[in-house]
Structure 1
Amino acid sequence: MRNPFATDAVGFDTPIAMLIACHDRVRHYAGLLPKLAGHVAIHGADAEAARAAASILRYFDVAAPLHHQDEDDDLFPRLRERGDEVLRGRVDAIAAEHDVLGLQWQALRPALQALAAGRAVVLDADQVNAFARDYPAHAAREERELYPHATRLIGADEMAGIGRTMAARRTHKD
């Protein structure tokens, strides 16, 4: 059976490429939020809004936490262990952003759940815009400040092990 988290272009045998592919989906789903807010303001909680909200919920409730776990449990500890003081500081700062993004998501989630259920709500523009801005910025920062070091500091065999762990993490999810 094909892994639903893998893409046609990349798989878990290339974990950094897979993490970047996850970031592409982060950008996509975070970018849907302002569009959804605009749609709801005009059309209300129609079927299209419910489908979009359900799709956004599914991504940020399931895939995004797995992605953070990939980084927090598998990638970041290795970077901390092998990096210099500057890199360790970057890892710590970027890892801390996961908690901030999680809080932002939890603030948005109830309104999206209501929309997914077809109930009329108004999405808070400040919350929507902050999340749509901050999550992609976080992903770009990881790609710019951390991922290049991973390819330099982590050998191919160990990287393959990270990929296997990432795949197994998703296989065991309901």
Structure 2
Amino acid sequence: MLNPFATETVTFETPVAMLIACHDRVRQYAALTETLVSHVAQHGADAAAIAGAQSILRYFDIAAPLHHQDEDEDLFPALIPLASAELKQVIDQIMAEHDELGALWQQVRAALLALVAGNDNELSAELAAQFASRYPAHAAREEDEIYPYAKVLLDAKQLQQLGRNMAARRGQKV
């Protein structure tokens, strides 16, 4: 099965880089929601709109939840015992955002499913803009405020285990 996180230069042997690569895809697919709104306004729920909606659905239904599990079940628990009070607070905020983003995704998901079914009235510009801005802002915050600490606080063995857990979650081997 195609690993939606894998790139030619990033592997599970470099788990923080893999998480960042996932964020690049988050930004890409979140932005596609706004592009989709513009396309649907001009062309309706045509084949291109349906294909775009399906690609967003596939990414955020499969890869994004795995990414959140990577963080919530592996990265953050590994960091918390080593973290300052400030970093712990940031991690708590980020984990709460995961829940908020999950709820936002459910709204976008319903609109995309309606689009795939031929209803071109459900995905509003406002909802798409919110989704296209909140997910990338969240990813940037993780990259700026948490990931640098993973490279400093976690040793090679912990990072290797993180990569193995991420791979196993996707049915891959490191």
Which band: TM-score by shorter chain? over 0.9
2:45–2:120 CA contact under 8 A, matched in 1: yes
1:37–1:122 Cα contact (<8 Å) kept: no
CA offsets 1:131-170 (integer angstroms, 9 cap, x no match): 1000000000000000000000100111011101100000
Structure 1 position 117, deviation (Å): 3.2
Unaligned runs of 5+ in 1: none
Look up the match of 1:134: 134
Aligned to 1:61: 61
Whole-angstrom distance in 2 between the partners of 1:2 and 1:112: 23
**Contact 1:15–1:163 (8 Å) recurs in 2:** yes
Supply the AA of the counterpart residue of 1:27.
Answer: R
1: CA distance, partners of 2:15 / 2:116: 32
Counterpart CA distance in 2 for 1:11 and 1:96 is 28
**Matches of 1:5 and 1:128 in 2, distance apart?**
23
Find out whether 1:80 has 2:80 as its counterpart. Answer: yes
How far residue 111 of structure 1 moved from its aligned partner, in angstroms, is 1.4
Does 1:37 pair with 2:37?
yes
Asked if 1 retains the 8 angstrom alpha-carbon contact of 2:45 and 2:118, the reply is yes
Distance 1:75 1:39, change over 3 A: same
**C-alpha distance in 1, partners of 2:4/2:140?**
24
1:63, 1:136 → 2: CA distance? 15
Does the CA-based 8 Å contact 1:54-1:116 persist in structure 2?
yes
SS of 2:170's equivalent in the other structure is helix
CA offsets, 1:78-104, max 9 Å, x none?
Answer: 221110101100110111100010010
Q: CA RMSD in A?
A: 1.4
CA contact (8 A) 1:15 1:159 kept: yes
Please state how far the C-alpha of 1:6 moved relative to its aligned partner. 1.4
Could you tell me whether the CA contact under 8 Å between 1:70 and 1:166 is conserved in 2?
yes
Counterparts of 1:90-105 in structure 2 under 5 Å? Answer: 90-105=90-105
The share of aligned pairs that are identical, in percent, is 59
Amino acid at match of 1:86: E
1:113 is matched with 113
1:40–1:122 contact (8 Å) kept in structure 2: no
Which SS does the other structure have where 1:168 is aligned?
helix
Unaligned runs of 5+ in 2: none
TM-score, normalisation: structure 1: 0.94
Tell me, yes or no, if the aligned pair for 2:15 and 2:162 is still in contact at 8 Å.
Answer: yes
Count of equivalent residues? 172
Structure 1 residues 32-69: Cα deviation after superposition (integer angstroms, max 9, x where no partner)? 01000010011000000000000000000000000000
Indicate if the aligned counterparts of 1:47 and 1:118 stay in contact, CA closer than 8 A: no
- Per mean C-alpha deviation after superposition, the further-off stretch among 116-125 and 137-146 is 116-125
